[in-house]
Chain A
């Protein structure tokens, strides 16, 4: 694999940028290049910043803002360089002249830049400017002089040779070559504080690059084959049915989506008014209409809301099946609980809910009960899964539909509040005072880990919602 191909793999954006650059230079569909005047010199094959922005707008059907942003990326990565003010790799949407960088200096071709090349470049500058380099270049020059001192004669010789060869070229060519080189070094050795586009995160052990190092032994492929075989046997649902699901979900939830539909009285982030949060706190006296409505979308919505779950408990008490909810909560505590406490929790569940004559005995079918009681002999985190699922389904299929039809739920809906929209402030600069709220980390009592775990587990048994 060539270095260029490797770089393009590590920075996938480079290959795409290069494709854009190539199509920008297409003789028919690309940018119309002309001679640009730089003071008294004429530079051939150049274009204006405006040309670039316009071309991008046309080619990709994007706004001027996006086009300027994209164009700037091309310039910052060194694929296009400015002729006027060449030290600043910025795209200006005016008649400033720009040119395409020669592929020799493309980021994918000549990366990483070598110390030797940089030394020669700085040496040339140093000679031309008679020692008057700008700060960071002066620092780098001195650093390199120390580091590769042994080859310094070679460096100076190369620098002199390149300068001599350059003097023999036309002024126009000399300017272009200087700008090309300068742009390359601005990308590869950005001044301190400037954006470094070549920065990347920690090395990833990409499978293309380190094929040799990967443990691609027979186990890996055996697992893949196993996974594939299982997948082949899966029941799949027709796309038309699945996708209908999104439409329905969208219809139900969009009115509840603050970003899509706003929220009443107002979005706290926009108006600095936290009333919305106060009205929707986990435990309020009167919940909002939207919130109570949402409990009707699905059993998990009711169960997942602190207030909703409380109402469900009230309802189940009336039906003398409150132990189902308690049992489910206890099973959640087991599933997500501390490893060291598993045996204790299992025992506690058994005593409270499963033992013959237990005070809060749950009614599960005999087969599941048998299996569970057997499993308890060697308690583990998932030993209650079957029983928990059975009770969950009972609540979902049986109690929940009755809850939604109940007097309790209907009155909750009727009493639920619908907050009025906050009027827009007339004087936007009079910002409301932003009050802090108590951190959840402060709310727990310090000390007893027992209390902590119990409290935490109460917060725990709330199914994850996005």
Chain B
């Protein structure tokens, strides 16, 4: 004798009948209909994605490392720390180069944002943000301003002034407003526009002077962690990576997603365009970096090694795109031969996670920032 309707008997009742009556009633009306639509949409999306992968595979007739067999192998690789920038009192989270090839801006967990002449290691400006975990910072193309943000969910622009009487924070402009943390920001081709990525799952384009939202980009299913603008001569596109393991390419004008790639097995922490603009690289918590070709519309290389266990937090290419530098959460920097797919070198030095890495505008060096409170210039 069954006491409760949901106890398994000789004939197990269908799931919905074993729920309490109130619930059943609700489901019978709207709830059930919505669930069916959501489930069927999800199923359709999954099957389309599968078919898309099949289409992409059809034109894949050769691997990159095969084509690269005739390229000369790289010789002995020597890169050393040439400068160590000490001054942050806490984890360095982000950095960006000035177009003058020697100045940089860096931001840290304790809210400090510092502008350095990294050649002399002198600090030129410093401002303390009203929030902690300033995860994003960027140098304006003119070299006259910086942008930064983090747990305050905003992106603010600070004009750089040498006027001793002026407090940098006084002229601060609050530009972007998101509903979750700011993970990345970048000026476009001028000081007057900023592109942002946020933990709220969206990217957005803003007018700096007015703070007006010019365009928003929806499509990621979780936090967006990184973005990079295409070096295209005519186009207006950018790529973003997120916690949904997707890398998405966007049209800045229409707000539409042009291409989407989902081959990583974990969060994508960093995306960077290959110098020709025909491809981009990504670094992920799954301990791999990958190369995606935009014309072939697929992943064309994976940079990984069994001994590399921790995620890649930040990636960038050397000027020619032959080398890919990856900063990792195991405190090291791995240097990859982009064409042959092999690791060229591993650089030790930082004493905690490498959180940010950028090659200088003229390719003479790269800068790494770490949770060990320092930045290093390598050449």
Contacts and interface: CB of A to CB of B under 8 A. Distances in A.
Interface string B126-150: 0000000101000001111100000
Interface in B12-60: 34, 37-38, 41-42, 44-45, 48-49, 51-52, 55-56, 59-60
B318 to A, nearest CB: 5
B295 A437 contact: no
Contacts of A207: 221-222, 243-244
Nearest to A196: B352
Given A221-B38, A336-B190, A338-B209, A242 B243 contact: no
B181 interface: yes
B142 A250 contact: no
A392 interface: yes
Interface size class of A (residues with CB under 8 A): 35 or more
Interface string B152-172: 000000011110000000000
A392 B234 contact: yes
A463 B379 contact: no
Nearest to B371: A199
Contact of B67 (A237, A244, A381, A455): A244
B199 A460 contact: no
- Of B117, B208, B287, B306, most buried by chain A (CB within 10 Å of CB) is B306
Contact of B219 (A13, A65, A66, A223): A223
Interface stretch (A181-189, A255-263, A412-420): A255-263
B74 to A, nearest CB: 8
Given A60-B307, A300-B233, A340-B209, A440 B243 contact: no
Chain B binding surface SS class:
loop
Contacts of B174: none
B312 to A, nearest CB: 11
B208 to A, nearest CB: 8
A214 B218 CA distance: 13
Given A206-B243, A260-B318, A456 B297 contact: no
Contacts of A464: 189, 229-231
Given A214-B222, A440-B98, A239 B61 contact: yes
Tell me what chain A mostly uses at the interface: helix, strand, loop, or mixed.
helix
A374 B22 CA distance: 60
A240 B339 contact: no
B336 interface: no
B6 interface: no
Nearest to B93: A201
A441 B309 contact: no
A73 B353 CA distance: 12
Interface in B274-327: 274-276, 278-279, 285-287, 293, 295-298, 300, 305-307, 309-311, 317-323
Interface of B: 34, 37-38, 41-42, 44-45, 48-49, 51-52, 55-56, 59-64, 67-68, 70-71, 79, 82-83, 98-103, 117, 119-120, 122, 124, 133, 135, 141-145, 151, 159-162, 180-181, 188-193, 199, 201, 207-210, 212, 214, 218-219, 221-223, 225, 229-234, 236, 243-244, 253, 257-260, 266-267, 273-276, 278-279, 285-287, 293, 295-298, 300, 305-307, 309-311, 317-323, 329-332, 338-339, 346, 348, 351-352, 359, 361-366, 371, 377, 379
27 contacts: A16-B310, A20-B309, A70-B330, A204-B243, A204-B267, A207-B221, A228-B260, A239-B61, A242-B295, A243-B67, A244-B67, A245-B295, A246-B68, A246-B276, A254-B322, A259-B318, A277-B102, A336-B192, A338-B209, A434-B120, A436-B117, A439-B124, A443-B143, A456-B192, A459-B99, A465-B361, A466-B275
